[in-house]
Amino acid sequence: MENNITANKVRSAFGGESQAYQRYKVWGRKAEDEGYPNVARLFYGIAYAEEVHAGNHFEVLGDVKGDFLVASMAGFGLGDTKENLEGAKEGEDFEIHEMYPAYLRVAEMQNEKGAIRSFKWALEAEKAHSELFQRAIDSVSNGNDIDIDEVSVCGKCGYTTTEGVPDYCPICGAPRNRFKSY
């Protein structure tokens, strides 16, 4: 990567996605403990999607070596399942409305094609995550688990669905065998 400004944005996105991956795994265990097995699977599936995003961002910087501070602003802490879902949705909405659009503009301005692809894929996947978290919030607010059968995640871009595995990912075009289900 030739441009330091874009590289810093990619490192920041890597940090945020890595933290979301860990946070969602912990919050999934909390949902299990509170009797919400489907919410737990949703957290685990979306955690995997965040891991995919982090990996894609890391690979974009594959030729950049050295010691860098990789940090991001993110919600921290363990609440009850509803609070954790609200925190997750808030984080996804920040990425959708602020972080990724801004990072994408920088990458486009600097013509960093790998970063553009990685940011676009993550942005589109985060939209599905936000919608799924809202559905879970609505269910838990009424004392119910979310009504889903399976959470399926594209291992190439992180697209997440509860509507069955598509033949091809609508974001990146990966075939159905690249999906992992929870």
Q: What is the pLDDT of residues 7-47, one digit of tens each?
A: 999 999 999 999 999 999 999 999 999 999 999 999 999 99
**CB of 91 closer than 8 Å to CB of 141:** no
Q: For the segment 72-122, what is each residue's pLDDT rounded down to a tens digit?
A: 656 667 899 999 999 999 999 999 999 999 999 999 999 999 999 999 999
Q: Which of 94, 87, 21, 30 is nearest to 56 (CA)?
A: 21
Note whether residue 138 is domain-resident.
Answer: yes
Q: Which two tokens stand for residue 126?
A: 């985060």
Note whether residue 157 is domain-resident.
Answer: no
Range of the domain at 54: 4-148
Number of domains forming the structure of the chain: 1
Query: What pTM, to 2 d.p., does this model score?
Result: 0.93
Q: 107: exposed, middle or buried (C-beta count within 10 Å: 0-12, 13-18, 19+)?
A: buried
Q: Which two tokens stand for residue 105?
A: 């503009």
Helix count (H) and strand count (E) of the chain? 5, 3
Note whether residue 123 is domain-resident.
Answer: yes
